[in-house]
Amino acid sequence: MQMKHASLVVGLLAMLGANAAPLTCPANGVAINYPVSKKGDQQDNYHGTTIADPYRWLEDANSAETKVWVDAQNKVTQDFLGQIPERETIKQRLTKLWNYERYSVPYKEGGRYFYSRNDGLQNQAVLYTMKSLSDEPRLLLDPNTLAADGTVALAGSAVSPNGKYLAYGTAASGSDWNEWKVRDIDTGKDTGDVLKWVKFSGASWTADGKGFFYSRYDAPEESAALAGVNYFHKMYYHVLGTPQSADPLVYDRPDDKEMGVTGQVSNDGKYLVITVSKGTSPKVRIYYKDLSRPGAKVVPLVDVFDAAYTFIDNVGPLFYFMTDKNAPRARVVAIDTRKPAEAQWKQVIAESARTLAGANMVNDQIVAEYLADARSLVKVVDRNGKLVREIKLPGIGSAAGFGGKRNYRESFYSFTSFTNPTTIYRLDMKTGASTVFRQPKVDFDPSAYETRQQFFTSRDGTKVPMFIVSKKGLKLDGSNPTYLYGYGGFSISMTPSFSPANLAWMEMGGVYVLANLRGGGEYGEAWHEAGTKLLKQNVFDDFIGAAEWLIANKVTSPSKLAIGGGSNGGLLVGAAMTQRPDLFAAAIPMVGVLDMLRFQKFTIGWGWTSDYGSSDNADEFKALVKYSPLHNLKAGTCYPATMITTSDHDDRVVPAHSFKFAAAAQAAQGAGDAPVIIRIDVKAGHGAGKPTTKVIEEVADRWGFLSRALKMNSPAAVAAK
């Protein structure tokens, strides 16, 4: 249904509390005196429709007025959370659960192995190197030494082909802005090279080890660094020992400010493969440059945004790509650069009923990673696509990694599930045998828990899967505190993974549910597109359908059901709680996109229009305003107990989204005392690189908040530990 102008105005007046008759909401135990959030008179005209934006002033995170508001809100939140007796017990248990070794998947370059390790409670993982798997690992880079509070994280790394240098990027306080430096691997000392204003980029070395390609934006004005829009991505080449100002521009797109450019040097060192993207759309263009020919020009290979293309490797002029061109669940093709016409492409791996999620070339074979109903399946085929073997995985879960080069005889991968901590395996590419490389030990008994996959029917008849994880022997009487989590966007697949946070929740007697919503990539590009733009409501319908199934089948009940999600998942939670507040007792929208009419006006938000559409488009505006969480709050409604979370350095989804939503939700909450609080972290960003101490504190607050909102018994299981 399309919302008419008159009803829209009425809805907005209700949001602001004009002549609203408050409903009677159930008592929740604690009344809160919220800070005053003044209402301005800002109004905007969208295609003939006037929209009020009374909290526009909160978009200026640097203003003294906003800072006072933030401090006041944080005080209210901390006072509220401080009254929850279970919070400290939960935090202690989380600290114990988190204290286990965690490893990244190793990679090999220049005759050395590299991997990261966190010994348990380190704020940041430490990078190690060794020349053979039997050697004692040597510490190469410890980000914990870069900031006393652990808020500087390693954001990327690349080793030169000769194994002599490490280029590494760091992110401060969770920002997307990275600073790149170079370290001599033998001496462990930095060379003095410094690259600034790098964003959405790695580093790719040339074969001679003299320098690397990277991408950046022009330096922003200081006041706009965390909120200003980012346009005109450019790729440069940095020569070691020279200042960044001398870096030559390799490729950019002055014809389109929204295009992003990244470069990857082929494993044989001969080609620079350039991927040109537009926002977050998976559809890209591919260009290349012959690095063996001085002065060679950039050549188009795929010069239209018609599909996704991921470069795998090359055998001379034959380039291998994973693509969803004419294959929504993806396939592998080989393109001969001498005969690049699509009619000449060779199909290597055909599309199948399962979604092809990744492909790498190792041992002159292709390792193909599939998703079968959001669970991993891995096959090895030769370069003609003939099956060599299926890799036997330890169980139902998620596998990742499988990197390497065409002449390598080994690879490494990780495997995890809801109840199995991430274990790292070495894969012998000749025999197909997997052996444990690193396996952590966590203080819990996995046999006490069970996972089941359940399909439910969404509003339009679509079958949607979800994972339900709990202690064994779950009683279906509707009394189980349940945390329903989802994302549903940007073709991102949500698959099983181990989480100390979720384990603590289940130890408290909670049920954890992960829904595989449309908008994700679990079933390929068609599944993704079914949850975008004018079809975005499908995602919310799927999430609501999951909740209704859980309630109808007595896994839980509305008074025991909480929902959570971050970023695009924060939008999901905001939309669900405003559309069906009756279904949920609690909601936790984390770093969410909550103002769907203005998201494109900050940092990289314009890049999300491929999934959301834009309020600048009349038809898309009509869809956006119908579900935008900020614009669908209505005064006097009994909203669930809500804890909004954001961070002061979030330059992905700027905190203004959460600030404005919190102010409006506090004003709209009906009579009663279900809390609407906002937790604003400091020296933190969108989530990546967040120190372990901050993660544990945030999760303790989340579960403490839910223990009160869902009226859970004292977490005896936690206390007993």
The per-residue pLDDT for range 372-382, each reduced to its tens digit, is 999 999 999 99
- Mean pLDDT over each residue of the chain, to the nearest integer: 93
End-to-end Cα separation, the chain, in angstroms: 52
pLDDT at 12 over 70: no
pLDDT at 678 over 60: yes
Say which of 470, 567, 614, 647 is annotated catalytic.
567
Q: What is the pLDDT of residue 30?
A: 67
Sign of the Cα pseudo-torsion (137, 138, 139, 141, in order): negative
- Give the Å distances, CA to CA, from 25 to 28, 230, 577, 637: 9, 44, 15, 8
pLDDT at 395 over 70: yes
Q: Are strands 561-566 and 482-485 parallel, antiparallel or unpaired?
A: parallel
- Give this prediction's pTM: 0.92
Burial 358-373 (b: 16+ CB within 10 A, else e): bbbbbbebbbbbbbee
Say which of 398, 657, 686, 707 is annotated catalytic.
686
Q: What is the pLDDT of residue 5?
A: 29
- 686 is known as an active-site residue: yes
pLDDT at 704 over 50: yes
* C-alpha–C-alpha distance, residues 517 and 527, integer Å: 9
Per-residue confidence band for 414, with pLDDT thresholds at 50, 70 and 90 = very high
Q: What is the pLDDT of residue 27?
A: 61
Shortest CA distance to 409 belongs to which of 432, 392, 439, 438?
432
Per-residue confidence band for 650, with pLDDT thresholds at 50, 70 and 90 = confident
Which of 278-287, 329-338, 641-650 is least confident? 641-650
Which domains does the chain possess?
5-65+444-720 (3.40.50.1820)
* C-alpha–C-alpha distance, residues 533 and 539, integer Å: 11
pLDDT at 1 over 90: no
Share of the chain above pLDDT 70, in %: 94
Give the Cα-Cα-Cα angle 302, 303, 307 (nearest 5 degrees): 60
pLDDT at 682 over 90: no
Per-residue confidence band for 201, with pLDDT thresholds at 50, 70 and 90 = very high
Sign of the Cα pseudo-torsion (645, 647, 652, 657, in order): positive
Shortest CA distance to 661 belongs to which of 27, 60, 37, 68?
37
Q: What is the pLDDT of residue 10?
A: 28
CA atoms within 13 A on the CB side of 213: 23
* C-alpha–C-alpha distance, residues 215 and 462, integer Å: 41
Share of the chain above pLDDT 90, in %: 88
Length of the chain, please? 721
- Give the Å distances, CA to CA, from 534 to 2, 386, 497, 538, 614: 11, 41, 31, 9, 10
* C-alpha–C-alpha distance, residues 215 and 661, integer Å: 34
Q: What is the pLDDT of residue 174?
A: 82
Q: What is the pLDDT of residue 25?
A: 66
CB 147, CB 683: distance < 8 Å: no
